[in-house]
Structure 1
């Protein structure tokens, strides 16, 4: 899911934006870039709820909790923050 939302650029279908979507990821194209829209809030809450459920079912094992928390923060929460809108870390995936 991370690769589809935050790595792949362009549009999966033909658009009438004259190529503006070529340089934007799917996450950046949602709701025309509006931050904290209902769609983006929902897609931010889902991984957090899954993390809480995984922590509960692993009985809060420290090893599992550390792995799940780090992957949640790095792959699910940070890329969705408004501070990372149109930002390419270290020039990766710039073009």
Structure 2
């Protein structure tokens, strides 16, 4: 019976994760799971306006997945192959 309960709980967790991965608006707990940051780190980022958030009724925090994705991908670096490809494009476009 114990193995069956563990298996059911594991499957439920998996289903919950799948459902929350499709949500456009996340709460703090979901955002922590999504980004891998701890909730306390995220609260600090909110406090210093380092992360996009909404606070519609002055208490609960909500995060738009698209804005979070953009925030997570800011300051990205190009790989060596991307740099080479970009250099080739620029050389060929100047001819």
Could you say which TM-score interval applies, normalised by the shorter chain?
under 0.3
Higher radius of gyration, 1 or 2 = 2
TM-score normalized with structure 2 length = 0.26
Q: Which has the higher contact order (CA 8 A, sep 6+)?
A: 1
More strand by share: 2
More helix by share: 1
